[in-house]
Amino acid sequence: MDWLTRNFLEQPLYVYLTLAFAEIALAAWWYETRRRKVLYLLAVPVLLAGGVFAVSRAVRTDREMILAAAREIAADVQAGRTDALDKHLTDDFTGVYRGMVYDKPGAMALALAERGRYRVEGIDVASAEVELFGREATMTVRTRMRLHSAELAAGVNVNVTFELEWLKSNGVWKIRRAGEPRTAPGFP
């Protein structure tokens, strides 16, 4: 089922390529035979591609909802807000930062304190891998951050990897646990 979801709803590129090759094969067959039935068959791959496109736009998968929530959090952090973070953390959230464990109120206070210390000039989600397990999911997200602070003469680029556990409750995905963020030296 996950294969169908990924290939038809989230990343239908391979379906489009397969239908394009089928269209080319049908066009070659029609060119050779000039049969009217084959001419009508030329419409089938086009109609199927339109159907896949419509369904992939209309249906929002769990993976897409999690990625959208992560992007919303990143945009809020860049804008200096914590609204999306508050919205997407469970009430029993636990997170680790610099060896200390935080609950949701502690994480929100930490986010506000870090916001005062660093100005985030940009966050790019370099990659995100989501594995679904029913109502639970794990996510590894690699970000590129451009930070600026009064302590630094110039901005600094940092790669940060987050390991997140998500829980779906009442149709909404929220972060239940966040592991210690891993940082790496800046990017070019």
The residues spanned by each domain of the chain are 2-58, 62-184
- What's this model's pTM, rounded to 2 decimal places? 0.76
> What own/partner pairs with CB < 8 Å and gap ≥ 24 does 138-141 have?
138/163, 138/164, 138/165, 138/166, 139/66, 139/70, 139/163, 139/164, 139/165, 139/166, 140/164, 141/70
- pLDDT digits over 139-168, tens only? 999 988 888 776 766 677 888 899 999 999
- Our measurement of the distance from residue 46's CA atom to the centroid of its chain's CA atoms, rounded to an integer in Å, reads 29
Report the 10 Å Cβ neighbour count for 163. 15
Average pLDDT, integer, range 121-142 = 90
Distance CA(125)–CA(90), nearest Å, equals 22
Residue 133: CB atoms within 10 A of its CB come to 9
Q: Which residues, including other chains, have CB under 8 Å from residue 42's CB and lie 6 or more apart?
A: 23, 26, 27, 30
Residue range 17-26, pLDDT digits in tens: 999 999 999 9
State which fold the 62-184 domain adopts: Nuclear Transport Factor 2; Chain: A, (3.10.450)
Q: Where are the alpha helices (DSSP H) in the chain?
A: 2-4, 13-33, 36-41, 43-58, 62-78, 83-87, 104-117
Q: Please, which pLDDT band fits residue 4 given cuts at 50, 70 and 90?
A: confident
Residue indicated by tokens 């149709």: 171
Cα angle for residues 138, 161, 147 (degrees, 5° grid): 140
Q: What share of the chain has pLDDT > 70, as a percent? A: 94
